[in-house]
Amino acid sequence: MKSRKVFGVTLGLVMAVLVLRPAAYGDETQELIDAVSNNDVKQVKSVLSRGADVNAALDSGVTVLMLASYNGNEEIVKLLLEKGADVNAKSRNGDTALKGASDNGYTNIVVLLKTHQGSKKADTHVSSRIGSTPNEDAGAEELRIAERYDESKRFVEAFQHYMKAANAGNNRAMNAIGYMYHSGEGVQQDDQKAMSWLRKAAAAGNSDAMWNIGNMYDEGEGVEQDYEKAMTWYQKAAKAGNSDAMFRIGSMYDKGEGVEPIFEIAWVWYEIAAKAGNITAMVLIGAMYRDGERVEQDYKKAMSWFQKAADAGDSDAMNAIGTLYYAGDGVEEDDEEAMTWYKKAAEAGNSDAMNAIGELYREGEGVEQDLDEAVTWFRKAADAGNESAKENLEAQRNDSRGPLPFASFTKPGSE
C-alpha cells in the first residue's frame, strides 16, 4: 500500500519520530502530540486545558494542527483553531496544514482552515456602501457628516465628505466612494474609478470593498464577468469576516458557478455564514432542514435556525415558524401560536403572512371566524403583490354561499 505524504514525510516516519524521540519535548507537548496523532479528542481537550502549547511541533516543524489536518480529524482541528493554532505555520519543507488537508481530500477541514487563515472579526451587518472595517479614527468626523448626508439622500454632499474622509485614510469612506462611482449616486457613474477606490479600500482591509469587487466580477458589472476572480475576492472578504461573502461562496459551490458543484462544500460555507450572523444563510439552512432538501429532515433544527433569523428581524423566518406551528411540524400544533407568528411577520411586511392571517380568519382557526377581517388581510397581501391573496380575494367575491372549504386554498404561509 502506498503511504500518503504528510508535509514532506510519510506517516510512518512521523510515528517513528513520536516513538523514538519522546525526550525531545516537554511532557505536555509530548502528550499533545501523542493525543493528536492518536485522534484522542478527550485527551487533546485535557492537555490543552493544562496549558499545552497549541503550536507544538516536531523537530521537522510539523505542528499538531498539521497532524490533525492530515489525519482528517475535524473535531481536533476545530479545538486547535479555537485555542489559536497558527494556520499559516510551515514545516521545514514548507508544508502547511491547509496543504495536508487539501492533498488528502478533507474538504471540511480545508474550508475551516481557509476561513481562519488571516481572519479578522468584523461587523458584517452594514451596508455594502459604508463597509465594516473602520481605519482607526482617520477622517472619523468627515465620515459621520457624510453618512448623515447619505441617509438623507443628499448624495452630492455625502460624496464630498466621503472624499475628505478617504483622503484622510478612512477605508470605509474609500469603499463608499467606490460604491457611489459604481452606482452614479452623487457623482458621474464611472466603473473604472469605482474599481480603483474599491481596491484602495480593500488594500486597507475593508471587507465590504472586497465583497463589492467580487460582486462586480460576479455580475459582470463594469468588468468582464469572471467567476474565478469573483471567488478570489469573496474568499478574501470571507477571511476578513464578511458573512455575505461566506454565503456567496457557498452558493457558488452549490450552483457550480466557476467551480465544480460540490454540495458538501456549499453546506459548510452556508453554516459558516449562518454562524457569522448571515440571516439569508440561517433561513436557507432552516428551510433545507424543514423540507429535507439534500439533508436529513429535522424540524427541530429547522425551528432553531428560523428562530435565530426571526430574532434578527427576518420576516420570512417568522412566517416559517408560524407555518411550523400551524402544521404541527416538530412542535405541537397550535393555531393561536401560528397566528402570533404570522402577525409578527405581517407587521414586518411579509405578504405571505398577511395572506395566511386572512385564511385563518376565514376558517376561524386560532381566532374567531371573521370574513370581513379575512378580506381585509387578503387585500393587504394582494396590495403587496401576493398572488395567492389575489386568488383568495377573487374566490371570496365569487362565493355567495359564504366561506369556501379551506382545502381549496393554499396552506397558510406557503408561497
Integer Cα distance of 201 and 387 in angstroms: 43
Integer Cα distance of 199 and 328 in angstroms: 51
Q: Are 88 and 126 in the same domain?
A: no
Contact criterion met (CB below 8 Å) for 44 and 32: yes
Contact criterion met (CB below 8 Å) for 178 and 201: yes
In whole angstroms, how far apart are CA 378 and each of 146, 217, 327, 361?
Answer: 42, 42, 21, 10
Taking the mean position of all CA atoms in its chain, how far away is CA 219? 19
Contact criterion met (CB below 8 Å) for 146 and 173: yes
pLDDT at 94: 81
Q: Is residue 415 part of a domain?
A: no
pLDDT at 108: 81
Q: Are 302 and 318 in the same domain?
A: no
CATH number of the domain to which 248 belongs = 1.25.40.10
Q: Is residue 413 part of a domain?
A: no
pLDDT at 325: 97
Q: How many domains does the chain have?
A: 4
Contact criterion met (CB below 8 Å) for 278 and 313: no
Q: Is residue 414 part of a domain?
A: no
Residue 134 backbone zone (phi > 0: left; psi -120 to 50: alpha; other: beta)? beta
Q: Is residue 185 part of a domain?
A: yes
Q: Are 320 and 383 in the same domain?
A: yes
Q: Which residues contact 236 (CB under 8 A, 6 or more apart)?
A: 202, 210, 214, 245
Q: Are 88 and 147 in the same domain?
A: no
14: containing domain? 5-116
pLDDT at 410: 45
In tens digits, what is the pLDDT along the chain, a chain of 415 residues? 322 223 333 333 333 333 333 334 457 888 898 888 888 999 999 999 988 899 988 877 889 999 998 888 999 999 999 888 999 898 877 888 988 887 777 778 888 887 776 443 333 333 455 554 444 457 899 999 999 999 999 999 999 999 999 999 999 999 999 999 999 999 999 999 999 999 999 999 999 999 999 999 999 999 999 999 999 999 999 999 999 999 999 999 999 999 999 999 999 999 999 999 999 999 999 999 999 999 999 999 999 999 999 999 999 999 999 999 999 999 999 999 999 999 999 999 999 999 999 999 999 999 999 999 999 999 999 999 999 999 999 998 887 445 544 433 444 555 4
Per-residue HEC secondary structure of 102-158 comes to HHCCCHHHHHHHHHHCCCCCCCCCCCCCCCCCCCCCCCHHHHHHHHHHHHCCCHHHH
Length of the chain: 415
Radius of gyration for the alpha carbons in the chain, expressed in angstroms and rounded = 27
